[in-house]
A = this chain, B = another copy of it.
Amino acid sequence: METQIFESEHQVNYYECDASQQLTISMLVNIMMQASGEQSHELGVGDEALAKKGLAWIVLQYTVDIKHIPTAHQKIKVTTQALSYNKLFCYREFNVYDEIGQLCVTAKSTFALLDSEKRKMVRIQDEVVAPFKAPFSKRLIRTPKPEKIKEEQSTESEYRVRYLDIDTNLHVNNSKYLDWSVDTLDYEFLTTHKLTHLTIKFEKEVYYGHQIKSQMSLLENETGQFISAHRIMTGEVVNSEASMTWEKIEKESSR
């Protein structure tokens, strides 16, 4: 039994990039998620098939490692495969290759099945995952935890959830949490640093009309990297925690 590897090509559009023509982290994640959605669809267990059972995939956490970020107009290749599953979780990985075939991004993620009506996680159903040919394994995979926010030096911004933040699961799309998080860093920082690592854990859904707080603290570590810790909150409820590693962009870089 060979795990199904899915491959998808994508041209990076200018509107998926920031002012420096670099693919944004939220769009990078969207492009990877699109690939896993396409694989599911091709195997007959896409969103529509799941919706008929009253189910939907939700993402619980992911880590992304970025060697170099694709830029506008480049043709990239995304591969993805389910790694294993257990009673409650499915593990999936992604690789992104740049225009000359170099591996530039790797990611690992944990998915669960949501009962769309009850908004509760349900047991993974064999017929939903069988087509991916990933092994069942009782073992829970330990996933990295985001760095905790430093309360005493955190800053925060407020955002009202917009209509266009909502996806077909009728909650805020996971990529929007990244937009809210990145936006707490200032312009000067964002244009002089590059993101090399992201870990995010989703705790509670956010819905249309909610007012959220995006909190952030920033620290420099002993190797000169910056670690930003992020938390999205609705009132006293924690919706997500994340941390990002940033490195200073060298002057000779093309950025």
Q: Chain B residues near A19: list those with CB within 8 A.
A: 163, 166-168, 170
Residue contact B15 to A30, C-beta cutoff 8 Å: yes
What is the total number of copies of this protein in its complex? 2
Interface string of A197-220 (1 = CB under 8 A from B): 000000000001100000000000
Q: How far is the CA of A20 from the CA of B168 in the complex (A)?
A: 6
Mostly, the A contact residues are mixed
Bin chain A's interface residue count. Answer: 35 or more
Query: Does any Cβ of B come within 8 Å of A190's Cβ?
Result: yes
Of chain B, the residue at the smallest CB distance from A157 is B160
User: Are B173 and A15 within 8 A (Cβ)?
Assistant: yes
Among A13, A157, A208, A209, max chain B CB count under 10 A is at A13
Segment at the B interface, from A84-92, A179-187, A227-235:
A179-187
A18 surroundings in chain B (CB, below 8 A): 163-164, 166
Evaluate whether A164 and B41 lie within 8 angstroms (CB atoms) in the complex, with A14-B34, A15-B175 already known: no
With A73-B41, A182-B164: A34-B13 Cβ-Cβ less than 8 Å: yes
Residue of B20, B30, B168, B179 near A21 (CB, 8 A) is B168
Kindly state whether residue A27 has any CB partner on chain B within 8 Å: yes
Residues of chain B with a CB closer than 8 A to A13's CB: 30-31, 34
Which residues of A are in contact with B by a Cβ distance under 8 Å?
13-15, 17-21, 24, 26-27, 30-31, 33-34, 37, 41, 73, 157, 160, 162-164, 166-168, 170, 173, 175, 179, 182-183, 185, 187, 190, 208-209
**Residue A183 contacts which of B14, B30, B31, B162 (CB distance < 8 angstroms)?**
B162
Q: What separation, in Å, do the CA atoms of A167 and B13 have in the docked complex?
A: 12
The answer to whether A187 touches B167, judged by C-beta atoms less than 8 angstroms apart, is no
- Contact partner of A37 (CB less than 8 A), chosen from B14, B27, B167, B173, is B14
Q: Which of A17, A164, A168 has the most chain B CB atoms inside 10 A of its CB? A: A164
How far, in angstroms, from A162 to B136 measured CA to CA in the complex?
43
- Contact A164–B24 (Cβ < 8 Å): yes
Interface pair A208/B187, CB less than 8 Å apart: yes
CB contacts (< 8 Å) of A27 on chain B: these are 15
Q: Once the chains bind, are B167 and A14 in contact (CB under 8 Å)? A: yes
